Amino acid sequence: SIDRYDEGAYRTLMQLHAQSGDRAGAISIYHQLSSLLERDLGVAPDQQTTALLTELLGDRLGRATSLGNAAEQQFSGKSRFGS
């Protein structure tokens, strides 16, 4: 039978989504698990699952920062108003 509370399976699914470029999907899987565990068992996801979420969020924020830095470098030295 399928264990609907198997966090290892959820982590694997999260990793597969992330590896395919679907970070939002991976994060959504975490939130689905979190809601299920809270509703049915009154607990939060375990430390490994939460660490994976943190890693996914950190990667997303890291990429956004990199993009912001690249844009900033591209326009550095130019006045905001073109003068």
Q: What is the pLDDT of residue 2?
A: 86
Indicate the average pLDDT of the chain: 81
Least-confidence region, from 24-28, 46-50, 67-71: 67-71
Please determine, for residue 59, whether its predicted confidence score (pLDDT) is greater than 80: no
Question: 1 or 34: which carries more pLDDT confidence?
Answer: 34
- What is the identity of the amino acid at 61? L
The model's pTM = 0.70
Residues 6+ away with beta carbon under 8 Å from 46: 7
